């Protein structure tokens, strides 16, 4: 039985039974700890209406369904003569996607009463949301204690990649301030991992049964999530695609090509160390020793910074 067959059967089981323990899932589908962790990650990423019951199991939070019989699905109405009933086509966009996750949330949750843990998570989400809003990012979804954030949709900026990186660094700094309160009131400390990737997506309506969202589909969100998974606590990691767009505006350490689960080719990853003093493209160009000089629309001539006079 392949992975996605197991995934579909787990979703169907949860929809019918309402809640299932981790022990039952392991026994029913012969899962080891690693496969169970992969299954949980896919359930969260695919945004199924599922909540985790601490360390005990999973709870279905959407509409329940009676046990399904093996019958053919009902025929779908023809839309050949009703073009207005079709969903709008997806929109191709370049997005910078930021994925943020709380470190050791299961351990932290076990140390607190559920009501206390709820207050901690709400304070963390509110803190991150304020930073994201400052850089005009769009929180596409709250995934438990994770956040999926788009920079470039619905509003696009020419510096969306920079905004994403600055938001990531800002969230790390903001949580340091929040930890003063969290430590005083609840005796815990919070840390986050952040991954950022830029690429093409298709944005369109997803969902059914009256619950629909406009989501970005493609490899980009998945790569951002996988990069986040390899980050150390309170660090921001970015892909080479994002690094090319922000090079010069931040100091970064190259970590080399990384093998990411579910991604065919290794992805070069960079660790963002902090912001630089650079404020404009001209300063970035000057830092590389090349100055852009734009003449006719079809020509761009590069001159070395500091080169002496008159030679064009």
Q: Is residue 80 in a domain? A: no
Same domain, 284 and 272: no
Q: Is residue 45 in a domain? A: yes
Q: Is residue 8 in a domain? A: yes
pLDDT at 304: 42
Side-chain-side CA neighbours of 35 within 13 Å: the count stands at 16
Cβ atoms within 10 Å of 60's Cβ, excluding its own: 20
Same domain, 113 and 140: yes
**Angle at 105 (CA atoms; ends 101, 110), nearest 5 degrees:** 170
Q: Is residue 168 in a domain? A: yes
Side-chain-side CA neighbours of 128 within 13 Å: the count stands at 29
Per-residue pLDDT of the chain (312 residues; tens, 9 = 90+): 567 777 878 887 877 778 888 888 887 777 877 788 878 878 877 777 787 776 678 887 766 544 444 444 545 544 444 444 455 567 888 999 999 999 999 999 999 999 999 999 999 999 999 999 999 999 998 888 899 999 998 889 999 999 999 999 999 999 999 999 999 999 999 999 999 999 999 887 766 666 666 677 888 999 999 999 999 999 999 999 999 999 999 999 999 999 888 888 899 999 999 987 666 565 655 555 544 444 443 333 333 444 444 444
- List residues bridging with 93 in a β-sheet: 201
Q: Is residue 70 in a domain? A: no
Q: For tokens 């001159």, what's the residue?
A: 303
Output the pTM of the full model. Answer: 0.63
Same domain, 236 and 285: no
Q: Which of 275, 255, 257, 279 has its CA nearest to residue 266?
A: 257
Q: Whole domain around residue 188: which residue ranges? A: 91-276
pLDDT at 67: 42
Q: Is residue 79 in a domain? A: no
For residue 250, whether the previous peptide bond is cis, meaning omega lies within 30 degrees of 0, is no
Q: Is residue 66 in a domain? A: no
Domain count, the chain: 3
Same domain, 121 and 259: yes
Same domain, 141 and 287: no
Backbone angles phi, psi at 46, to 5 degrees: -80, 0
């Amino acid at each position: 039985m392949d992975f996605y067959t197991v995934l579909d059967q787990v979703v169907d089981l949860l929809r019918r039974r309402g809640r299932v323990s981790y022990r039952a899932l392991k026994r029913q589908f012969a899962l080891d700890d690693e496969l169970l962790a992969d299954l949980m990650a896919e359930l969260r990423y695919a945004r199924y209406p599922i909540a985790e019951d601490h360390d005990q199991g999973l709870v279905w939070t959407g509409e329940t369904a009676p046990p399904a019989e093996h019958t053919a699905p009902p025929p779908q109405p023809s839309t050949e003569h009703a073009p207005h009933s079709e969903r709008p086509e997806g929109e191709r966009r370049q997005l910078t996607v930021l994925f943020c996750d709380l470190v050791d949330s299961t351990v932290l949750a076990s140390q607190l009463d559920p009501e206390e843990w709820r207050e901690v998570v709400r304070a963390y989400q509110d803190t991150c949301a304020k930073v994201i809003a400052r850089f005009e990012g769009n929180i596409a979804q709250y995934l438990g204690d994770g956040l999926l954030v788009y920079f470039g949709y619905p509003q696009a900026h020419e510096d969306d990649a920079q905004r994403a990186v600055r938001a990531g660094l800002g969230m790390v700094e903001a949580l340091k301030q929040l930890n003063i309160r969290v430590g005083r009131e609840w005796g815990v400390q919070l840390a986050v991992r952040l991954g950022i990737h830029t690429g093409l997506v298709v944005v369109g309506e997803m969902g059914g049964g009256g619950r629909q969202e406009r989501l970005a589909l493609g490899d980009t969100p998945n790569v951002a999530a996988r990069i986040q998974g390899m980050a150390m606590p309170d660090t921001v990691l970015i892909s080479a695609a994002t690094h090319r767009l922000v090079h010069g505006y931040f100091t970064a350490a190259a970590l080399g090509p990384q093998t990411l689960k579910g991604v065919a080719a290794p992805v070069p990853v960079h660790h963002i160390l902090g912001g630089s003093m650079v404020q404009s493209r001209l300063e970035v160009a000057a830092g590389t020793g090349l100055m852009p000089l734009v003449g006719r629309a079809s020509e761009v001539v590069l001159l070395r910074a500091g080169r002496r006079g008159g030679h064009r």
